[in-house]
């Protein structure tokens, strides 16, 4: 009877080891996809609103375009406010980074609790969100704004050089914003949200005492960027963060903590 119970317990543990990680991964991917979709909608709405403002400003300064012939940047600076753009994007995006960071930490705690057999809660998680959401928001906002600003500048410089009218110039700007609201916004959202999720989970476990991590889980081993990192697992938190900071667009690999036998979290309650 004791052996039967032992076998049953072993079967249950084997089932959990085999299927629970898959279940958790589906939850992760569902949450991540939902966050990305919502973020993409916010980005699209933002660019639509910005296009209206930019076109209005362009109408006001285009009559002075001859002053910009020798310096194409002049007209860009009169219609495009970088600080304003960054501030608005940062405000829009920070809530999504907070959601992604929270999802990463909750998944890390749940996974660790399942391994250890008791509930693990870390009281510093809220502080982590507050400290990092703004930083992620600034980084993402700066990336979007700089790219869009350069594209607008190039298009306006071309319009001025070709002697085009305001209608053609507006169409050029509309095309820039249309491109920004399409694939590019989706690609950046997916990449950045995945990064926030992975770093959020890894840092959560590091705060609890985990020192080794596996990166690029689920990635193509033949990928020139992910393959070498995947084959050199495990990694330290610093190595994970460095890699996550330079992942290729549309990176979907996840990070898993390596929990040593007999591990006791630093802080639980």
Q: Over its length of 269 residues, how does the chain's per-residue pLDDT go in tens digits?
A: 344 556 776 777 777 767 666 666 677 777 778 888 888 888 888 888 888 888 888 887 777 665 555 566 677 777 777 777 778 888 888 788 777 777 788 888 888 888 888 888 776 655 555 666 677 677 767 777 777 778 888 888 888 778 788 788 888 888 888 877 777 777 777 788 888 888 888 988 998 899 999 999 988 888 899 999 999 999 999 999 999 888 888 888 889 899 998 888 887 65
What whole-number distance in Å separates Cα of residue 224 and Cα of residue 220?
9
Domain boundaries, the chain: 2-257
What whole-number distance in Å separates Cα of residue 237 and Cα of residue 231?
16
Which pLDDT does position 133 carry in this prediction? 65
Reported as type and span, the H/E element at residue 213 is strand 213-217
How far, CA to CA in Å, does 225 sit from each of 38, 196, 200, 248?
A: 28, 19, 22, 7
Which pLDDT does position 269 carry in this prediction? 52
What whole-number distance in Å separates Cα of residue 30 and Cα of residue 39?
14
Which pLDDT does position 3 carry in this prediction? 46
Which pLDDT does position 215 carry in this prediction? 94
What whole-number distance in Å separates Cα of residue 21 and Cα of residue 24?
5
Cβ distance 65 to 78 under 8 Å? no
Bridge partners of 254, per DSSP, are: 217
- CB-neighbour burial class of residue 4 (10 A; exposed 0-12, middle 13-18, buried 19+): exposed
Is the pTM here over 0.75, yes or no? no
Cβ distance 199 to 128 under 8 Å? no
């Amino acid at each position: 009877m004791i052996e039967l119970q032992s076998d049953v317990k072993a079967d249950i543990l084997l089932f959990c080891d085999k299927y629970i990680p898959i279940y958790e991964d589906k939850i992760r991917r569902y949450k991540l996809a939902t966050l990305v979709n919502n973020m993409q909608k916010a980005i699209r709405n933002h660019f639509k609103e910005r296009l209206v403002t930019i076109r209005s400003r362009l109408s006001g300064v285009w009559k002075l375009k001859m002053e910009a012939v020798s310096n194409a940047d002049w007209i860009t600076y009169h219609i495009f406010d970088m600080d304003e753009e960054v501030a608005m994007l940062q405000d829009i995006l920070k809530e999504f980074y907070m959601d992604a960071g929270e999802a990463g930490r909750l998944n890390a705690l749940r996974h660790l609790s399942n391994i250890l057999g008791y509930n693990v809660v870390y009281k510093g998680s809220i502080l982590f969100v507050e400290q990092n959401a703004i930083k992620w928001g600034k980084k993402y906002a700066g990336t979007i704004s700089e790219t869009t600003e350069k594209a607008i500048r190039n298009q306006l410089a071309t319009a001025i050089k070709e002697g085009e009218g305001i209608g053609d110039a507006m169409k050029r700007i509309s095309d820039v914003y249309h491109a920004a609201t399409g694939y590019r916004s989706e690609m950046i959202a997916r990449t950045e949200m995945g990064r926030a999720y992975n770093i959020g989970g890894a840092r959560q476990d590091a705060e609890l005492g985990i020192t080794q991590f596996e990166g690029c889980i689920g990635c193509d081993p033949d990928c020139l960027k992910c393959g070498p990192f995947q084959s050199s697992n495990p990694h330290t938190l610093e190595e994970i963060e460095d890699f996550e900071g330079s992942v290729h667009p549309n990176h979907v690999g996840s990070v898993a903590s390596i929990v040593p036998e007999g591990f006791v979290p630093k802080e639980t309650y």
